[in-house]
Amino acid sequence: QVQLVQSGAEVKKPGASVKVSCKASGYTFTSYGISWVRQAPGQGLEWMGWISAYNGNTNYAQKLQGRVTMTTDTSTSTAYMELRSLRSDDTAVYYCARDGHTVTTGNDYWGQGTLVTVSS
């Protein structure tokens, strides 16, 4: 069965970086992409970006351009999302989700979420 298992909760100081992992199993990793979506406490969903596990192409939300980098390791079927220069309003649950391999089309399987807390 398809599973996306994310790394554990993180606590970071403002200005630091965080890297969240998402290990996929149960499907051919390189036949799909991965999206990252975050949700601040009590707030709605925010689309952060997408990466193709097929060819490494990426698309990022404009507001995060320059601070976010999404990568994949096809040898371990793992996707990564790194967010730099963290601010308090980056505190959120971060989700990875399976997506299309050429463009983002929507997410049929999701990880369990990773809480990232940014606090001094």
Count CA atoms within 13 Å of residue 24 on its CB side: 25
The reply on whether position 72 binds another protein by CB under 8 A is no
Query: How many Cβ atoms are within 10 Å of 71's Cβ, its own excluded?
Result: 14
- Residue 1 interacts with another protein (CB under 8 A): yes or no: no
Hey, what are 31's tokens? 């036949």
Q: Is 115 in the site for another protein (CB under 8 A)?
A: no
Q: Three-state SS for 105?
A: coil
Find the part of the chain contacting another protein (CB under 8 A) among 9-17, 37-45, 70-78, 83-91: 37-45
Contact residues for another protein (CB under 8 A)? 35, 37, 44-47, 50, 59, 61-62, 95, 97, 103-108, 110-113
